[in-house]
Chains A and B, each alone.
Chain A
Amino acid sequence: MSTDERRLATKVRKVREFLIERTIFVSGITSIVIVALIFIFLLKEGLSIFLTESVFDFLGGQFWYPISDPAVFGILPLIAGSVLVTVGAAILSVPIGIASALYIAEIAPPRTKEVLKAGIELLAAIPSVIIGFIGMVTLGPLIKDLFDIPTGLTALTGSLTLAFMAMPTIVSIAEDAITAVPRQYREAAIAMGATKWQTTWKIVAVAARPGMVAAVMLGMGRVIGETMAVMMVTGNAALIPHSFLQPVRTLTATIAAEMGETVQGGDHYAALFAIGIVLFIITFLINAVTDLYLHRSVRK
């Protein structure tokens, strides 16, 4: 190949590659841009609610009457609904999820392990509207009959459904953390005469604790953000609940259920976007803190 040919081909190629590499760089920072855009647009559409409702009244107000006259936008009942359902889900899913992660990572034979992991992955894939639907037609009536209450669509139903939906996140991340514990830890414990169970519980589970904490936090992040299933099974009453057997309404369900009826640019519309801001900040904090925490413990 002559040097002239080489030079020309190179020149054409360099221009093209310069353009490609610019495109790659722009694509590279899309994620940052999108996170920023989400926040900006939530603020843009939602901030106007604070002209009529102070931040304190919005977050601390006990009444959510978006279509009364005058309308009242207090999201405390919604926060309470979300918190109650999330706490319920955590109580159920954390111990079971961690236990099952220990089983899959440490005890299950290799074949079973592969099948179980695939099963967990499929569980994560089931659309939330399907889980909501099944919860509504099976779990709802069951709880209604069991506790002899007027409706089966309650905070408890929501917690059970969400506990189930948090499992894939908790199990798979905790399982990764457990598997990542160096083999020498286990060998040292076994060599000192510990049983497999003692090793699993006193050595491996302790060493994997940071990963387990992260798993739980991310699982809860998923629960707080879950929308369709929770909307379908919790009964949607925007009142501050006093027990698990009452209907509740969560932050997410409120947005999904009410946005369709709002006037674009109106107070109600803005209030729903403001709920979006609250949700965005909560999940952002959960994810950022977990990520930093994980990175710190990895470096250690």
Chain B
Amino acid sequence: MNVRTEQKLAFSVLFLCTVLVVLPVLVILGIIVVKGGSALNWGFLTAMPRAGMTAGGIMPAILGTLYLVMGAVLFAVPLGVLSAIYLVEYSREGRISRLIKLAIVNLAGVPSVVYGLFGLGVFVVFLGMGASILSGSLTLGIMILPVIITASREALESVPRSFRVVSLSLGASRWQTIRYAVLPHAIPGILTGTILGLGRAAGETAPILFTVAAFYLPKLPQSMFDQTMALPYHLYVISTQVPGVPENIRFGTALVLLLLVLTLNLAAILLRYRFRKRKRW
């Protein structure tokens, strides 16, 4: 075979493989939009479920997911950003920083169901918080910690060294330098990481299974010590546990969850893209 045709053939195969990776995304999106679009209306988003979840809306699940995600971010963002500041600005290359990096890599690889077990063992049982929004938020927060730390680290590292040197040379302290000369320029990157973390927390089911999620609740949670319904768990429940849920409600629920998660991720991608283009140093 001549080298030209060989190259053509090889490139076609590679291209086909790429199509195989990307095409299913479009197929999934297509199916969900087509089959779930008809369920999507204001009533579906704002009504309580009725008739054993075979009719009505999914408002409590949406609200529950929003609560959980907010709680997770409130916990994980300060902790994650401070942790990244330690790694980038304070730790010298050495055993501790190496160990921290290894721990972050491992946290990112821990299966989500194991986070669920951890949340159950620590928050629900050991700390006596019970199955509650608080336990669920903390569990999700710990799960997205590596995402936040990694994004914040990259954001801090992208701030030029000269900003730090100038600030220190003017007699600013180390913390002032971080606070006034470094952190403001890392905010877009940290924000991107936060939004990605939001998306991840919104879509996860396994960590909330034993820490907060309720099969069905007739009323909305009143405090952070209550259980709540949540979108991803609700989708699991109505698609595997409850017989006779109409197709458009199941696909409609999937569509709402997908829209929520993809919007967040798209926002993060666009934010990062704009930030990279605008950067002037």
Spell out A's residues near B (CB within 8 Å): 13-14, 17, 20-21, 23-25, 27-32, 34-35, 37-38, 41-42, 44-45, 95-97, 99-100, 102-104, 107-108, 116, 118-123, 125-134, 136-138, 164, 167, 171, 195-198, 201, 218, 221-222, 224-228, 232, 252, 255-256, 259-260, 264, 272-273, 276, 279-280, 283-284, 286-288, 291
Cβ B18 vs Cβ A134 within 8 A: no
Please, which residues of chain A bring their CB within 8 A of the CB of B149? 31
Nearest 10 CB-CB pairs, A to B? Answer: A28-B86, A225-B111, A127-B203, A27-B82, A99-B17, A197-B7, A41-B121, A103-B14, A31-B103, A287-B109
Cβ B236 vs Cβ A120 within 8 A: no
* Complex CA distance for A136 and B114, rounded to whole angstroms: 24
* Complex CA distance for A213 and B202, rounded to whole angstroms: 31
> What would 5 A/B residue contacts be, using CB atoms closer than 8 Å?
A118-B269, A133-B235, A221-B109, A232-B236, A288-B102
* Complex CA distance for A130 and B22, rounded to whole angstroms: 16
Chain B interface helix/strand/loop/mixed: helix
Instruction: Specify which of A100, A222, A272 is in contact with B18 (CB 8 Å cutoff).
Output: A100
Spell out B's residues near A (CB within 8 Å): 3-4, 6-7, 10-11, 13-15, 17-18, 20-22, 24-25, 28, 31-32, 78-79, 82-83, 85-87, 90-91, 96, 99-118, 120-122, 125-126, 142, 145-146, 149, 173-176, 196, 199-200, 202-206, 209-210, 232-233, 235-236, 239-240, 250, 254, 257-258, 261-262, 264-266, 269
Q: Which of B24, B108, B254 has the most CB of A within 10 A?
A: B24
Q: Assuming A28-B83, A130-B257, is B18 touching A99 (CB within 8 A)?
A: yes
* Complex CA distance for A276 and B32, rounded to whole angstroms: 33
Cβ A28 vs Cβ B90 within 8 A: yes
Q: Assuming A24-B85, A35-B103, A287-B105, is B112 touching A227 (CB within 8 A)?
A: yes
Please, which residues of chain B bring their CB within 8 A of the CB of A31? 83, 100, 103-104, 107, 145-146, 149
Please, which residues of chain A bring their CB within 8 A of the CB of B262? 122, 125-126
A-B contact count (CB 8 A): 264
Cβ A228 vs Cβ B22 within 8 A: no
Please, which residues of chain A bring their CB within 8 A of the CB of B236? 129, 132-133, 228, 232
In chain B, what residue has the closest Cβ to A20? Answer: B175
Chain A interface helix/strand/loop/mixed: helix
Instruction: Specify which of A27, A42, A96, A116 is in contact with B83 (CB 8 Å cutoff).
Output: A27
In chain A, what residue has the closest Cβ to B28? Answer: A134
Q: Which of A21, A107, A126, A127 has the most CB of B within 10 A?
A: A127
In chain B, what residue has the closest Cβ to A18? Answer: B175
* Complex CA distance for A273 and B116, rounded to whole angstroms: 10
Q: Assuming A107-B14, A125-B199, is B113 touching A252 (CB within 8 A)?
A: yes
Cβ B25 vs Cβ A126 within 8 A: yes
